[in-house]
Structure 1
Amino acid sequence: MEPILQVNHLKKVFHQRGKRDIAAVNDVSFCLYPGEILGIVGESGSGKSTVAKLITRLEDVTDGQIVLDGQDITHLKGSVLKETYGKIQMVFQNPVGSFDPRRTLGDGIGESLKNKGVSKAEIRAKVAELLEQCGLEPEYMDRYPHQVSGGQCQRAAIARALAVDPKVIICDEATSALDVTVQKRVIDLLQNLQENKNLSYVFICHNLALVQQFCDRVIVMKDGRVVEEGIPDEVIQNPKEEYTKMLVESVF
């Protein structure tokens, strides 16, 4: 089976005036297969979120290659890059901050459809359908981000990601700002959507127990590098690297 996403020797160096350069991501390679959930774990500063921003092209790559659905997207710009967002979407850690506070949730969810020239009536119908798929009543489309809970806002953010029928969704700490009960509901939602739509996820998370429960494979990052990779049960129960052992011991 061909991977839906392939990351080859990815590198990101941040240049700071008068200071040493920082290699936030250093020679990272991995594959994501259709219908797979790949977890990325590591401490804060390990490079997890930078990898997410590089894959979704929110940050430019210093070196390496990103191949999405057979297309090299590493250096795409402008309208060609925008087209790739029909295949890959991101769900962020702070759901409320990811929406424009002056616009309704429905506006945010339907924006990608509006950009495609879809009519207002069709957008409202599609947004209502997406909200229902994500466990929210259609009237939520007329609410503003500050008028809903964090969990409801994250469901709306997932609905927004689904609007373009992507093949890959990057979840960057998408559940970490939620309490445990809401977190479970969002994970259940992601699982149902993944099964019904054969989505592939890159699930960036610092919660090893959650990764063990939710992901098919996991990679462990430290100082911008991948130090271990495997099936979550194996990596967590029999870690090979000292760093992974330390991570596991700090949680379990």
Structure 2
Amino acid sequence: MEPILKVNHLKKVFHQRGKRDVFAVENISFSLQPGEILGIVGESGSGKSTVAKLITRLVDPTEGEIILDGQDITHLKGTALKDAYGKLQMVFQNPVGSFDPRRTLGDGIGESLRNKGMSKVERRKKAAELLEQCGLDASYADRYPHQVSGGQCQRAAIARALAVDPKVLICDEATSALDVTVQKRIIELLRRLKEEKNLSYLFICHNLALVQEFCDRVLVMKDGGIVEEGTPDDVICNPQDEYTKMLVEAVL
């Protein structure tokens, strides 16, 4: 089976005037299979979020290639990149901050549909359907981000990501700002949506217990590189790398 996402020798160097270069990501290679949940763990500054920004092309890579559903998207720009976003979407850590505070959740969810030429009536209907799929009443389309809880806003953010029927969802610490009960419900929602829509997830997280419960495979990152990979049970219960051992011991 061909991977839905493949990253080859990805590297990102941030050049700072008058300062030393920062090697944020160094020679990273991995693949994501259709229907797989791949976890990426590591401490703050390990390069996890930079990997997400590189794959979604929010940041340009210094070297390497990103293959999405058989297409090289490493250097895409403009309309070609927008087309790629039809297959790849991201759910961010701060759901409230990811919406425009001056516009309703329904507007936010319908934005990508408007770009595709969908009429206002059709967008409203689709936004209502997506909200209901994500466990919210259709009336939430008329609410503003500050009028809902963090968990409700994250459900709306997931609905927005699903609007274009993507194949890959990147969750960048998507549950870390939520309390444990809400986090559990969001994970249940993601699990159900994966089955219903045959989604693949790149799940970036610092919560090892959550990764062990939710992911099929896990990569451990340190200083911009991958130091260990395997099934969550193997990596967490029998870590081989000293850094992974330290991460596991820190939560025991």
Short-chain TM bin: over 0.9
1:197 and 1:83 map into 2 onto residues whose CA distance is 19
- The alpha carbon displacement at 1:105 in A equals 0.3
Pair 1:100-2:69 in alignment: no
- The alpha carbon displacement at 1:30 in A equals 0.3
Quote the sequence identity (%): 81
Instruction: Give SS of 1:18's match.
Output: coil
1:77 and 1:120 map into 2 onto residues whose CA distance is 28
Pair 1:121-2:121 in alignment: yes
Instruction: Give SS of 1:75's match.
Output: coil
Match of 2:39 in 1: 39
User: Partner letter of residue 225 of structure 1?
Assistant: G
- The alpha carbon displacement at 1:99 in A equals 0.2
- The alpha carbon displacement at 1:46 in A equals 0.1
2:86 and 2:80 map into 1 onto residues whose CA distance is 11
1:14 and 1:251 map into 2 onto residues whose CA distance is 32
1:219 and 1:195 map into 2 onto residues whose CA distance is 23
Match of 1:211 in 2: 211
Match of 2:152 in 1: 152
Pair 1:26-2:26 in alignment: yes
Match of 2:229 in 1: 229
- The alpha carbon displacement at 1:47 in A equals 0.1
- The alpha carbon displacement at 1:223 in A equals 0.1
Moved over 4 A (4+): none
Root-mean-square deviation (CA, aligned residues, Å) is 0.4
1:78-102 alpha-carbon deviations (Å, 9 max, x no partner): 1100100000000000000000000
- The alpha carbon displacement at 1:227 in A equals 0.2
1:118-139 alpha-carbon deviations (Å, 9 max, x no partner): 0111111110000000000000
Structure 1 runs not aligned, ≥5 long: none
Pair 1:83-2:78 in alignment: no
1:150-199 alpha-carbon deviations (Å, 9 max, x no partner): 00000000000000000000000000000000000000000000011110
If the length of structure 1 is used for normalisation, what is the TM-score?
1.00
Match of 1:171 in 2: 171
- The alpha carbon displacement at 1:204 in A equals 0.1
Structure 2 runs not aligned, ≥5 long: none
Corresponding pairs, count: 252
2:251 and 2:68 map into 1 onto residues whose CA distance is 34
User: Partner letter of residue 250 of structure 1?
Assistant: A
User: Partner letter of residue 243 of structure 1?
Assistant: Y
